């Protein structure tokens, strides 16, 4: 097969065959197809889209480039995945929390993608933490403590490892087809019984409207179901960051605060809601209310934090080594009013220009930089009040970040619309 012919077919809006999809994906994973041809195909898919059959075939082709994880115990296997958002740190809490419920949580996660941060980059802000567990190490850890959070590797969904890094820097992230295949290839390879998806919408997500996020949720859930996974989804609001912190080390710190019972309430509420859907899916709880009570009990008893510490230690991390944070600068309000808009795209770019995300594949991120967003939508703001704190040592980067942060925030004469933090995705019958 000739790659340029397949790329041109999709460029012109054609439907790819299963054989063509498999050829491109397997050649790329093996290293026989160069990045520039895969980028061209990803851009063609981004612009032209794929139908549900092509999306399923793309997902399966990606899974076929690696192994599937094996069951290591009788415990139900569950996971959660987010479609990506600003300040989204729920995985750090949810993995250990579900492990406290006698469930196995084999979480294959991702790095920063586009303007959003990645769970792996966040965890690597903990000195020593390894996101490249071998299958044997992952299975051993799962059998022992019921959870791990690691990345795709050369044997676990290698196609996603490469394509994810490529999409991050080629403007090809916000595609229903590519997001579905990326997420569901990892989740199906985990051999799950139940999965909850956090499908984000708003200025700080890849899809800006509720309508588009519903389309993505439907595509993700359809692929979960056809693989025999009990799949549910929440649509969650990303018109402002989740919690206050956006970055890497600062988000680990905020997650630990939540696990200690403090920290921003929205982070805990969304984490608990996602976890509750999993408990009901696997029959650990009869109702969502019962599930919420169980999860609250694990948090309050300190067991979630304890399990997180065990996971970090088993993955080589040192929780007690200091995690450097950048020097603090402030962005002050230059007028008074109600906070009506936070443009998450610009806030995400502010983190990237400081080095907290990548502009080229394979770059190292600076875990110390980030933002602390001090105001929420609907808040009253007086002139001179702190809107955002910037964490960064480099004065030139701080100036670039300040300009983006200023542009990201709008004040109005009246409180604007504030959206519900989450709502259930109800699939069409
Ligand atoms: N998370 C993933 O793993 N892949 C995407 O494409 C988006 C979010």
Residue from 113, 198, 199 to probe ligand 1 pocket by mutation (most atoms less than 8 Å from CB): 113
pLDDT at res. 362? 84
Average pLDDT across each block of 10 residues of the chain; the chain has 429 residues. List them in order.
98 98 98 98 98 98 96 96 96 98 96 89 97 95 98 92 93 96 97 98 94 97 97 98 98 98 97 98 98 98 98 97 96 97 96 93 93 97 98 98 97 93 91
CA-nearest residue, atom 2 of ligand 1:
183
84 pocket-lining for ligand 1 (C-beta < 6 Å): yes
CA-nearest residue, atom 1 of ligand 1:
83
- Ligand 1 centroid, distance to 221 Cα (angstroms): 14
Q: Are strands 422-424 and 230-237 parallel, antiparallel or unpaired?
A: antiparallel
pLDDT at res. 117? 85
Q: Which domains does the chain have, with CATH numbers?
A: 3-49 (1.20.970.10), 78-314 (3.40.1030.10), 328-412 (3.90.1170.30)
pLDDT at res. 388? 98
110 pocket-lining for ligand 1 (C-beta < 6 Å): yes
pTM: 0.95
pLDDT at res. 24? 98
Question: In ligand 1, which atom is closest to the CA atom of 110?
Answer: 3
- Chain segment 308-324, per-residue pLDDT in tens: 999 999 999 999 999 99
Structure token digits, residue 357: 């995300």
113 pocket-lining for ligand 1 (C-beta < 6 Å): yes
Residue from 80, 159, 173 to probe ligand 1 pocket by mutation (most atoms less than 8 Å from CB): 173
- How large is the angle between the packed helices 90-99 and 288-300, nearest 10 degrees? 100
- Chain segment 234-247, per-residue pLDDT in tens: 999 999 999 999 99
User: Would you name the residues annotated as active-site residues?
Assistant: 81, 160, 167, 182, 186
- Chain segment 251-304, per-residue pLDDT in tens: 999 999 999 999 999 999 999 999 999 999 999 999 999 999 999 999 999 999
Residue from 59, 166, 179, 236 to probe ligand 1 pocket by mutation (most atoms less than 8 Å from CB): 179
pLDDT at res. 406? 97
């Amino acid at each position: 097969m000739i790659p340029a012919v397949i790329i041109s077919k999709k460029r012109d809006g054609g439907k790819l065959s299963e054989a063509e999809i498999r050829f491109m994906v397997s050649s790329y994973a093996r290293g026989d197809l160069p990045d520039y041809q895969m980028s061209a195909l990803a851009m063609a898919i981004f612009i032209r889209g794929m139908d549900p059959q092509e999306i399923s075939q793309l997902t399966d082709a990606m899974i076929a480039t690696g192994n599937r994880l094996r069951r290591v115990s009788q415990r139900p296997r569950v996971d959660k995945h987010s479609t990506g958002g600003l300040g989204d740190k729920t995985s750090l809490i949810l993995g250990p929390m579900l492990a406290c419920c006698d469930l196995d949580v084999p979480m294959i996660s991702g790095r920063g993608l586009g303007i959003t941060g990645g769970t792996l980059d966040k965890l690597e802000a903990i000195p020593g933490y390894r996101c490249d567990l071998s299958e044997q190490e992952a299975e051993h850890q799962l059998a022992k403590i019921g959870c791990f959070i690691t990345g795709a590797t050369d044997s676990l969904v290698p196609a996603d490892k490469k394509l994810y890094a490529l999409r991050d820097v080629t403007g090809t992230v916000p595609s229903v087809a590519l997001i579905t295949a990326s997420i569901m290839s990892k989740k199906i390879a985990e051999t799950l019984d139940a999965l909850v998806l956090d499908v984000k919408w708003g200025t700080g997500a890849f899809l800006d409207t509720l309508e588009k996020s519903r389309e993505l949720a439907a595509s993700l859930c359809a692929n979960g179901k056809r693989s025999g996974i009990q799949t549910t989804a929440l649509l969650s609001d990303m018109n402002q960051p989740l919690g206050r912190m956006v970055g890497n080390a600062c988000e680990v710190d905020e997650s630990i605060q939540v696990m200690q019972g403090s920290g921003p309430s929205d982070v805990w509420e969304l984490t608990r809601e996602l976890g509750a859907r999993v408990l009901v899916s696997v029959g650990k709880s009869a109702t969502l209310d019962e599930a919420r009570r169980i999860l609250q009990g694990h948090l309050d008893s300190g067991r979630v934090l304890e399990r997180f510490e065990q996971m970090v230690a088993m993955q080589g991390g040192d929780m007690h080594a200091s995690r450097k944070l950048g020097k603090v600068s402030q962005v002050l309000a230059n007028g008074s009013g109600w906070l009506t808009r936070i443009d998450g795209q610009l806030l995400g770019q502010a983190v990237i220009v400081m080095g907290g995300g990548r502009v080229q594949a394979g770059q190292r991120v600076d875990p110390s930089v980030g933002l602390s967003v001090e105001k929420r939508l609907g808040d009253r703001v007086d002139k001179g009040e702190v809107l955002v704190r910037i964490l960064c040592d480099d004065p030139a980067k701080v100036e670039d970040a300040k300009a983006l942060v200023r542009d990201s925030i709008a004040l109005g004469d009246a409180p604007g619309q504030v959206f519900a933090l989450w709502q259930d995705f109800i699939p069409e019958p």
